[in-house]
Amino acid sequence: MIPSFPDAFVRKLIAQEASLINAFRRLVEKVETRTEQQLRETKGIHLEPIKSDPPYHSIRLDRGPRAKVLVDGETIVFLDVDQDHDKTYGKK
């Protein structure tokens, strides 16, 4: 898949702790070498749909932190990042 990073996402990402930025870097390396189906099946990544409209997905950055993404064909657009796992799903 081809990762895409809108400016708002980049600004939020660089405000995070170094450990989360490193986790994100490792995730991008995996995203670039896998298909959407492989991302769904790869343990540790957990690309999962979020019940929303449009149909966003959640992808794991590290043990807790997740990113909100939009899968558009062969492109995965990173929209938001949060240390709190539940916020990605809109639970808090």
d(CA 62, CA 68): 13
Query: Which stretches in the chain have pLDDT values below 50?
Result: 92
Rounded CA separation 85/74 (Å)? 25
This model's pTM is above 0.75: yes
Q: What is the pLDDT of residue 89?
A: 53
Query: In whole angstroms, what is the distance from residue 45 CA to residue 63 CA?
Result: 10
Please give the Cα distance from 78 to 66 (Å, whole number): 11
pLDDT of res. 87 = 57
Element (H, E) at 48: strand 48-49
Torsion of CA 7, 45, 86, 15, to 10 degrees: -30
